[in-house]
Structure 1
């Protein structure tokens, strides 16, 4: 009969210590899975010819992707598993999905040029995510090194959404789609700095006018979401080159790498 005390092992008896099984935080990973579903939903809609809904799926994935990291930090539930899960979700939602949607909508008619553009975009998204994971501890948190993959996906799918709403077929704008896909893809792997908005503190109090401006912004987006959202991301997509050119003209350091690393296999990424 157990008396509530731990048994004392006999001399020479091996003590077996059971390790507590590691769990997975539910809340942030739910947002990541929801973002992954948005990318999967976008591909399915594109296969069914619903390219407007495919674009909406990518934009929904973008919103959810922006929330999972913030939720993890606010609830102190960051984990290595969550980081890897987020990267894989981003590759599907912002790498493979936009490339497949663009190819199915317009690039297919360009033959080999079409699938080359789609592949270049997809490959650049993978390279950008891999570089982000490697450089996460050395990059200035205020800026992204290259265009972030969600913004690149917004450029590609936003253009598709805008054209679809205007009843313009993809075959008639295949070459503009080609240019858009290449621009978004190659800009992801440049060293051009793009503002990250990570220095905005959600827990701090703000003036009442800020809330009013946010309400006005939501109202403006609802006037015509395809035009407004695509315009916003076009402005963001060129803002990095404006910042880069301004820094060059002023003689300010253009690199967003804040510290160096001694790892020889990472030095080439910091140029």
Structure 2
């Protein structure tokens, strides 16, 4: 093999990293649209970034192109897309009148996202130990939870801009959940009873209908469903603390 061949890499090995960079660009562009007040576009870009975040790792595993470089790149992209961008979006959307207090909670959320990703990087070498759950709310899920006030407003159910203090508190709470020990179920560990199959099929059809008619209501419902899955773990943690 000559020197030129050794300096070249197969395109398929670069594909997962290209997908990660695409997701990072979506997050950065979301910040740009949030700064000019185009919040719906900014939210859509963050949702797309979250979907892409689930693709790059899958592509890397399928192509056997996983690497330490790709893992670090993914974490840096996640910090931008799911810690910085959601905090800035919520601040511009609903916390401007809260002034310094609102910005403090944005910093809390961003710092929590950074700590979450740093801890994940440190623990990454111990993956595959048989655990059936993650610890703490993952960064993409935390970003979607942070956008709950935006979903409430865009769906027309409640204007979060009229309650900036509550919105700021919610942002801080989500940040704490991201670095907490709250167990969250892994999709691989989930088991669906037979009667639940029909419910899931009907729910999927309903979700598809809402996607093309009431997209913000759909995002709100998905957020609330995810939050409901966290409640048992939060309750168990509360019980351990009280004892």
TM-score between the two structures when normalised by the length of structure 1? 0.73
- 2:18 aligns to what? 30
Partner residue in 1 for 2:193: none
In the TM superposition, what whole-angstrom CA distance separates every residue of 1:67-123 from its partner, at most 9, and x where no partner exists? Answer: 111111112111111101100000000010011111111222112211111000000
Greater Cα shift, 17-26 or 152-161? 17-26
CA contact (8 A) 2:155 2:214 kept: no
Question: In the alignment, which residue of structure 2 is the partner of 1:81?
Answer: 69
**How many positions carry a matched residue from both structures?**
229
SS in 1 for 2:217: helix
Q: Deviations over 1:17-64 (max 9, x none)?
A: 999447482221122112111111110110110111111111110000
Supply the distance in 1 between the matched residues of 2:198 and 2:15 (Cα, whole angstroms): 31
Is the aligned partner of 1:179 residue 2:172?
Answer: no
Q: Which segment drifts farther, 181-190 or 210-219?
A: 210-219
Determine which of 104, 108, 122 is the counterpart of 1:116.
Answer: 104
Partner residue, 1:166: 156
Q: Which residue of 1 aligns with 2:194?
A: none
Give distance in 2, aligned partners of 1:247 and 1:174: 29
The answer as to 2:46 corresponding to 1:58 is yes
For 2:140 and 2:72, the matched residues in 1 are separated by 16
Find the counterpart in structure 2 of residue 155 from structure 1. Answer: 145
Q: Which residue of 2 aligns with 1:265?
A: none
- Map Cα deviations across residues 193-218 of structure 1 (whole Å, 9 max, x no partner): 11121458xxxxxxx98995685265
CA distance in 1, matches of 2:143, 2:134: 15
- Measure the CA separation in 2 of the matches of 1:186 and 1:247: 13
Matches of 2:231 and 2:159, distance apart in 1:
31
What is the distance in 1 between the residues matched to 2:68 and 2:166?
40
Q: Which runs of 4+ in 1 moved over 6 A?
A: 208-211
Q: Distance in 2 between matches of 1:178 and 1:248?
A: 23
Q: Which runs of 5+ in 2 are unaligned?
A: 191-196
